[in-house]
Structure 1
Amino acid sequence: MDSPQAGGPPEEQYLGPVVRRREQIQPGTTDQRLLDTEGDSQWVHTDPWRVMRIQSEFVEGFGALAELPSAISVFGSARTPPGSKEYEAGVRLGRALVEAGFAVITGGGPGAMEAANKGAREAKGVSVGLGIELPFEQGLNPHVDFGVNFRYFFVRKTMFVKYAQGFVVLPGGLGTLDELFEALTLVQTRKVTRFPIVLFGSSYWGGLVDWLRGTVVAQGKASEKDLLLFHVTDDVDEAVALVTKEVAR
Structure 2
Amino acid sequence: MFKLYTVGQLSNLTKISIRTLHYYEKLGLLNPIRDEINQYRQYSDRDILILQQIAILKRMKYKLSEIAVFLDQNGPVVGESSHHVVTAWMQSLEKQLKIVREQKEDLKRVEQLLFSTLYSIRVTDEVNLDEMLNFIKELDQPKDLSRSTLLQQVFTPEELKVLPIDKSGTVEMEWADILKEINKHMHEAPDSEASQKLAKRISEYASVLFHGDEQLAEKYWEYITPEDGQSPRAYGMSTEVMRYIEKILER
Query: Higher strand share goes to which structure?
Result: 1
Q: Tell me the TM-score normalized by structure 1.
A: 0.28
Compare CA radii of gyration and give the structure with the larger one.
2
**What's the TM-score once normalised by structure 2's chain length?**
0.28
Q: Which has the higher helix share?
A: 2
| Bigger relative CO (Cα 8 Å, ≥ 6 apart) | 1
